[in-house]
Amino acid sequence: MRVLLTEGSSTSARQAITALALAGHEVAYCDPARICLGRFSRLVVRRYRCPPLGTDPEGFRHFLHETLSWERFDVLLPIHEQGYLVARLADELRPRVAFAVPAFESYERVLTKLGFRGLLTELGLQQPPTHLLDDPRSLAQHAAYPFVVKAALGTASRSTWLIRCEADRDRAAAELAHVATPGEPILVQAWVSAPLEQAQAVFQEGRLVGFHATRRLVEGAGGGAALKESVHRPNVASDLAKIGSHLSWHGALSVDYFTDDRGERPLYIDGNPRLVEPMAASLAGLNLADLLVRVSAGHSIAPGRMGRPGVRTRLALQVLLGAALRGARRRNLVASLLQLVGRPGPFAQAREELTPVRLDPLSVLPVVGAALMLLARPACAGAMVRQGWGAHLLTPEAMRHIRDLA
């Protein structure tokens, strides 16, 4: 099928390009940036420049209408926060293209930190101790270090702060003043020292049809996983099935959670109404991106598909950025690079998610560029991470505009 991704900048979009191409689909994407991760791929058949969702949601809306009116696509796949707009415009877009998103109200409950917290409470699913602050200024009285602060909206590691000391707390309070939505409370959550895992699922009209879970073994940039391993988590699948049935979910859904060593007591900390970096599942035998396309197209899917456990995968870009952010010197970065190309070490035997060099040689260029920049100046890692929080993502202002769309 011909598939249009709603952005090409994120690691999730870049991985979806690979997964969809492996399933035989023709992949195109739109993005406000001329140069992005998706640009470095021979697997993309068409690229479109589009208005930025974050500052011009109305322009992005018109772009979708115009493009879908003169270009035939079988499936529109909202790979990131553009799904918020697609869910809001579902009735007007469906005559032009197939897609899988839940009802707008359900989508918003999972997207926002506040909505997801309420959903977990409503369903009796466990989460770390959490309380709400009506005024960000009252954060100055909170000193139970370490703890986590979250604004109502924020994915891709935005608007979430780990507070270890008074300086962290004051910096978070100052930044919250600029990003928090007026009138919405912020969340203060107890820090949990436990393994972090992520689960992804695809639903068809409230039924769980595909599920995959991974454990983070090595942390990368922004709390992401530089190295992960697929795990068997039937209890988490059961919890997700409960969420999907409760919300009549249609499409993709991902959750992050802390758990014990055996994965038996998950504490859910974040939800995303989309696929997050789907190649780990593909390399473990379950192509969730392809499954989502087939759900979008209305194919009947048998429930209960799961990826196999024990498969280790890595993201070379996260390996390098994570090492640099942890203060690695140049010789440590060189050691990580040598492991990525086959020297013994934790990354050597893991399969690469983001840069499938043999299939798609161009994909390695962003990693090579990042490696050269980090070797020249390791301190630039923070700025490189922030560049990923681009104009293709939602802002509180864009959310308000989309809510008010007629």
Please tell me the predicted confidence (pLDDT) of residue 180.
67
Q: Which is nearest to 162 in space by CA: 313, 154, 46, 171?
A: 171
More confident residue, 176 or 78: 78
Q: How many CB atoms lie within 10 A of CB 93?
A: 20
Domains and CATH numbers, the chain: 2-105+397-403 (3.40.50.20), 129-190 (3.30.1490.20), 197-313 (3.30.470.20), 316-387 (no CATH)
- Please state which of the ranges 79-93, 168-182, 217-231 shows the lowest mean pLDDT: 168-182
Decide: helix, strand or coil at residue 180.
coil
Whether the predicted pLDDT of 159 surpasses 80: no
- Sole residue written with tokens 């004051």: 170
Whether the predicted pLDDT of 204 surpasses 60: yes
DSSP 26-78: EEEEEES-SSSGGGS-TTEEEEEE---TTT-HHHHHHHHHHHHHHS--SEEE-
Strand-pairing partners, residue 188, are 131, 149
Q: In the predicted model, what is the mean pLDDT of residues 315-342?
A: 81
Strand-pairing partners, residue 3, are 27, 75
Alpha carbon distances (Å) from 13 to 17, 189, 245, 334: 6, 30, 27, 28
Give 260-273 pLDDT, tens digit per residue. 988 889 999 999 99
Q: How confident is the model at residue 387 (pLDDT cuts 50, 70, 90)?
A: low
**Residue 106 and residue 116: Cα distance in Å, rounded?**
10
Whether the predicted pLDDT of 155 surpasses 80: no
- Please state which of the ranges 11-15, 235-239, 346-350 shows the lowest mean pLDDT: 346-350
Whether the predicted pLDDT of 205 surpasses 80: yes
Whether the predicted pLDDT of 151 surpasses 90: no
**Residue 220 and residue 317: Cα distance in Å, rounded?**
9
More confident residue, 384 or 190: 190
pTM > 0.75: yes
Whether the bond between 146 and the residue before it is cis, its omega within 30 degrees of 0, is yes
More confident residue, 372 or 345: 372
Whether the predicted pLDDT of 85 surpasses 90: yes
Q: Could you tell me if residue 384 is left (phi over 0), alpha (psi between -120 and 50 degrees) or otherwise beta? A: alpha
User: What phi and psi values does residue 195 have, to the nearest 5 degrees?
Assistant: -60, 145
Please tell me the predicted confidence (pLDDT) of residue 1.
97
